[in-house]
Amino acid sequence: MKRLFEKAGLKLAHAMDPERAHGLALRALRMGLVDLPGSITSDRLRCHVGGLDLPNPVGLAAGFDKNAVAVAPLLRAGFGFVEVGAATPRPQLGNPRPRLFRLTEDRAAINRFGFNNDGAQAIAARLADRPRDGIAGINLGANKDSDDRAADYARVLASIGPHVDFATVNVSSPNTERLRDLQGKAALTALLDGVMTARAALPRPIPIFLKIAPDLTRGELSDIATAALETGISAIIATNTTLSREGLRDAQRDQAGGLSGAPLFDKSTRVLAQLFEITQGQVDLIGVGGIGSAKQAYAKIRAGASAVQLYTSLVFGGMSVVRDVVHGLDRLLERDGYANVQQAVGIDMKEWL
């Protein structure tokens, strides 16, 4: 019966403008209208990733709850960890609407939001009141009109860092002009040094993650890995959305912005495997891109991910996707004789190179 209600809700949502539907989904979560399983864990699923002890390795990617308005229910949705944001120092309207496009035929989405958010001060206030019985992090961003974008990341961390368990440096969104230039080795090292300085000043230093783009060469990945290792990054999230439109069929395929969802799976997993080979286990990797099933989450782990995140699959499958992926992953690990998920990390890496 609960699945029937969810399917009816999804059908209604898909008849609406995607951004309006997303806002209603957040409201439904806040109002307690969504069936939530609470924490899901087992001995096979518990893991230590990027300095965090997680009940399971399946997380929520940034972008779903940009303004931290539904953190409490999301922490009860079965995720092992939740990432909100991106947050910028000052409130930002983002790009003009429409800026979110649902590609139903491809089970994908294209967005060109442009870091729209309520600003670090408002988001910090909400996170200060969040439940402390779950792992929550913040995605750090920069204002579009900032004179010093690198410094913006440190400013957001200083404001929100005391209220979260980890923070992610997001230099890989394609929707803020020239933001991806910060992925170059020299610029990235300087930016990360500033963030780590801000981290040291927090009452409780937290792990810092780095989120990268899927549209990078192996040489660029090597440079990013070097910068991450030299500056003490705890994990790399691979990957953000792509600018590629290869293989798309939906009529919305030519919209500008970053593509997420099913078509990103192979591309992002290849980047993940390359990073796993490059870093040789010296930094944890979190796999993102196209995960809609337990089988796909398991494939990311076997390619090199210590944990995974999902988002776009919720648009097409609803919140029940979370419990299906987590429980299904547990069964796959049991089937293959693994006592713990960390034993499966990277065993299929070479198949993706």
Selected residue with higher pLDDT from 5 and 50: 50
Quick: pLDDT tens for 121-151: 999 999 999 999 999 999 999 999 999 988 9
Identify whether 173 is a catalytic site residue: yes
Query: What is the distance between the alpha carbons of residues 67 and 92, in angstroms, rounded to a whole number?
Result: 11
Quick: pLDDT tens for 207-221: 999 999 999 899 989
Residues 6+ apart with CB under 8 A from 230: 189
**179: pLDDT strictly greater than 80:** no
pLDDT value of position 150: 86
Query: What is the distance between the alpha carbons of residues 287 and 294, in angstroms, rounded to a whole number?
Result: 13
Query: What is the distance between the alpha carbons of residues 320 and 8, in angstroms, rounded to a whole number?
Result: 13
In the Cβ-directed half-sphere of 173, how many Cα atoms lie within 13 Å?
Answer: 26
Helix, coil or strand: residue 26? helix
What is 146-196 written as a DSSP string? -S-HHHHHHHHHHHHGGG-SEEEEE---TTSTTGGGGGSHHHHHHHHHHHH
Backbone angles phi, psi at 121, to 5 degrees: -65, -45
User: Which one of the listed residues 173, 268, 306, 313 is annotated catalytic?
Assistant: 173
As a whole number, mean pLDDT of residues 61-83 equals: 98
- Categorize the per-residue pLDDT at 91 as very low, low, confident or very high, splitting at 50, 70 and 90: very high
Domains assigned to the chain: 2-352 (3.20.20.70)
Selected residue with higher pLDDT from 87 and 171: 87
Q: What are the strands, taking DSSP E only, across 171-306?
A: 208-212, 235-238, 258-261, 284-288
Query: What is the distance between the alpha carbons of residues 90 and 156, in angstroms, rounded to a whole number?
Result: 9
pLDDT value of position 103: 98
- Cα dihedral 244, 249, 254, 258, rounded to 10, equals -40
pLDDT value of position 175: 56
Q: Which amino acid is at 122?
A: A
* Residue 199, burial from CB neighbour count under 10 angstroms (0-12, 13-18, 19+): buried
Whole-model pTM: value is 0.97
